[in-house]
Structure 1
């Protein structure tokens, strides 16, 4: 593995009296697409929030690009797409992108170039002047994904990025993620869609706040009699009870 862009060491998180994450150990290098897979409530979103600095663990350490999180100085290097869309529905798509571009201190020609790139990536070029309140759920997901990529981040963290997105566009988004990986970017994706999990370089299967298996899709599939990733997940205890 290359140099770690994300490093999680002995992370434990409790919310209220409920243990959400237990003894999480994880390293994601630059130039890799790493997948977190698991059923709803497994702890994937909490782990992502701790990595981006939105929540804190009670013990353990998280570093992104060698800076201990949470850390405001590294925020500009992280592109984050949350599971719920954080958009201003009274603004147009372009106004949303302009607002977030300004937060990232993108100016002039660079801002225009990045907005055009991100809009094209998610096929929203013809919808930029529409008010977001008129967008479908899938269009809002596409806009959220575009915003996460605006500042050309070194680390991209995407929580269920393609929910509600049609298969053709989903394929083009994954093609772009592969290109970003080739540029040396670190990409962390949560998903419960097995065909997307198979596109990741490595996977961590999360169940009840613990990593129950970790490896390449091929390594995990090899541990089943069927050679299917879905069966690997069931075998490791990933089925909903």
Structure 2
């Protein structure tokens, strides 16, 4: 049992980088205590990773006082590292080593040997449920299993302070729930835990939070305190008078609205203080719509504290041409789609259709076959059997003309980090056949739509994650594709950037673009017209977000969230298979 006496003390902490006009950390004073999980929250570039690296002794502060469990991270780094566990944002283990080989390496580095090592391995493998996978290469693990292995290696030596930098990015809801269970058990034992996250629903699982923006501390306290400040200001609008996508574009421009998202059949709005609901409906030209009060979420309070989300329509939508095609045309189709790796079946006779101008979401736990399905549909992997059809053409044998109509944004950043933003735009527009004035015009349009002009001469590696993702989407849209494949396009970015992305996506769909998307953000699933839930290589459920929720509605859960729906559908499937 760890004694719950450790604290992290920060006093007037400052961190300046020469290339930045504003400090990365600005005059931060606070105390973090052991025995609880403290959440480190903030938008992209808020200073979260900088703070964690300072606490870990990997970065020197410009000024101020830092003490971790009574130790200075710079001058007493050796002593600190004996009691500190640090899990970086990027997977930091060796992908060409097995699970047990990674654990052995980290045990050596930590000086954990003999019987003590055997006991630690048994405890950690049981704790993370990795006992069955000890001889699997780390690179072959699912995203959730990689994070569990990273946590197991971090816990070797029984650290008393645990720093976790976005440990749940790219992890499905079931694995995220397991990670949180593990971390709360560690906190209950007296460990000091700081958890950085871009998933704002996770803030509500923390006992305390630090909310940073541009290096400044905006809030420090119990997350529910911040959420309660939005009471009476979050509503749902239900109407058949206009599409929710078009309605959202209108609503976010109104002075009474601070934020808006699509939630199944509803438009969900956060209102500014003093908002007039009757005026809101009048300004939206809605005459038969219902306004329903709904409980606020932490994300509502977070965005309100930052001054609201985007307050203008998607500029990208203005520069794209409308697609002239039959609205009910089948654009993407999987027929008995199967993929095998030796004796392992990753996909087992998957079937679905996607219509013109539809957003179709593929959801599923890590390792369920979701990414394999996605890659076969956009021609990146060859099926073992069945067909992946786009515009009626099998991509395995089809012509390049169909591929020229596809846009693809990879889950991992796939542009050239040693090229500037402008060079990447020019390179990818050239790949899609743009030359001369047409190329220059398209580069200018994308630069304006994604606000890239101040960054054109910067190397892509130096960009924040949010701007890397903006650039990746801009490059995927250079040739104005009418079919867009997006593989976790907003993984790791902050909520405001996610809203910007979806505003663009919704605008493109209104122009006739068809989108297939994978995501682990359950709120993003609400934007989809239909969802296919992939599990054990099969589509186990397909339908609208509201239809899937209805399948799991019960007396205990009369109004399930999308995350509750995801977990319940998988548990129900497992229960049926076990009979």
Normalised by the size of structure 1, how large is the TM-score? 0.93
Which of structures 1 and 2 has the larger relative contact order (alpha carbons within 8 angstroms, sep 6+)?
Answer: 1
Counterpart contact for 1:138–1:163, Cα < 8 Å: no
Question: Structure 2: how far apart are the matches of 1:232 and 1:205?
Answer: 11
Counterpart contact for 1:39–1:238, Cα < 8 Å: no
Question: Structure 2: how far apart are the matches of 1:234 and 1:189?
Answer: 19
Instruction: Give the equivalent residue in structure 2 for 1:144.
Output: 472
Q: Say which of 565, 572, 578 aligns to 1:232.
A: 565
- Name the count of aligned residue pairs: 240
- Cα 1:103–1:238 shift into 2, 3 Å: farther
Question: Structure 2: how far apart are the matches of 1:84 and 1:17?
Answer: 28
Instruction: Give the equivalent residue in structure 2 for 1:106.
Output: 434
Question: Structure 1: how far apart are the matches of 2:384 and 2:503?
Answer: 37
Instruction: Give the equivalent residue in structure 1 for 2:544.
Output: 216
Instruction: Give the equivalent residue in structure 2 for 1:174.
Output: 502
Counterpart contact for 1:10–1:25, Cα < 8 Å: yes
1:135 is aligned to 2:468: no
Question: Structure 1: how far apart are the matches of 2:503 and 2:524?
Answer: 12
Instruction: Give the equivalent residue in structure 1 for 2:411.
Output: 83
What is the DSSP-based 3-state SS (H/G/I as helix, E as strand, rest coil) of the residue aligned with 1:222? helix
1:234 deviates by: 1.3
Instruction: Give the equivalent residue in structure 2 for 1:164.
Output: 492
Question: Structure 1: how far apart are the matches of 2:472 and 2:366?
Answer: 21
**What do residues 176-208 of structure 1 show as CA deviations (whole Å, max 9, x unaligned)?**
111111111110110011110001111011112
**What do residues 89-119 of structure 1 show as CA deviations (whole Å, max 9, x unaligned)?**
1110110110010010112333223223333
Question: Structure 2: how far apart are the matches of 1:6 and 1:149?
Answer: 18
**What do residues 19-53 of structure 1 show as CA deviations (whole Å, max 9, x unaligned)?**
11111001111111111111222222211211111
1:38 is aligned to 2:364: yes
Counterpart contact for 1:5–1:65, Cα < 8 Å: yes
Question: Structure 2: how far apart are the matches of 1:165 and 1:238?
Answer: 29
1:238 deviates by: 6.2
| 194-203 vs 226-235, greater mean Cα deviation | 226-235
Question: Structure 2: how far apart are the matches of 1:55 and 1:127?
Answer: 34
Bigger Rg over Cα: 2
Question: Structure 1: how far apart are the matches of 2:498 and 2:448?
Answer: 13
Question: Structure 1: how far apart are the matches of 2:519 and 2:445?
Answer: 24
**What do residues 66-96 of structure 1 show as CA deviations (whole Å, max 9, x unaligned)?**
2111332211100001112221111101101
**What do residues 116-155 of structure 1 show as CA deviations (whole Å, max 9, x unaligned)?**
3333444333212101122233332222121111111010
Normalised by the size of structure 2, how large is the TM-score? 0.40
- Cα 1:135–1:124 shift into 2, 3 Å: same
Instruction: Give the equivalent residue in structure 2 for 1:55.
Output: 381
Cα RMSD of the aligned pairs, angstroms, is 1.9
Question: Structure 2: how far apart are the matches of 1:26 and 1:146?
Answer: 28
- Cα 1:44–1:125 shift into 2, 3 Å: farther
What is the DSSP-based 3-state SS (H/G/I as helix, E as strand, rest coil) of the residue aligned with 2:552? coil
Question: Structure 1: how far apart are the matches of 2:449 and 2:486?
Answer: 15
Instruction: Give the equivalent residue in structure 1 for 2:79.
Output: none
What is the DSSP-based 3-state SS (H/G/I as helix, E as strand, rest coil) of the residue aligned with 2:383? coil
What is the DSSP-based 3-state SS (H/G/I as helix, E as strand, rest coil) of the residue aligned with 1:129? coil
What is the DSSP-based 3-state SS (H/G/I as helix, E as strand, rest coil) of the residue aligned with 2:461? helix
Question: Structure 2: how far apart are the matches of 1:75 and 1:102?
Answer: 15
Which runs of no fewer than 5 residues in structure 1 stay unpaired? none
- Cα 1:238–1:84 shift into 2, 3 Å: farther
Q: Say which of 416, 420, 426 aligns to 1:92.
A: 420
- Cα 1:24–1:148 shift into 2, 3 Å: same
Q: Say which of 184, 195, 199 aligns to 2:512.
A: 184
Question: Structure 2: how far apart are the matches of 1:115 and 1:18?
Answer: 44
Which runs of no fewer than 5 residues in structure 2 stay unpaired? 1-326, 575-579
1:2 deviates by: 1.2
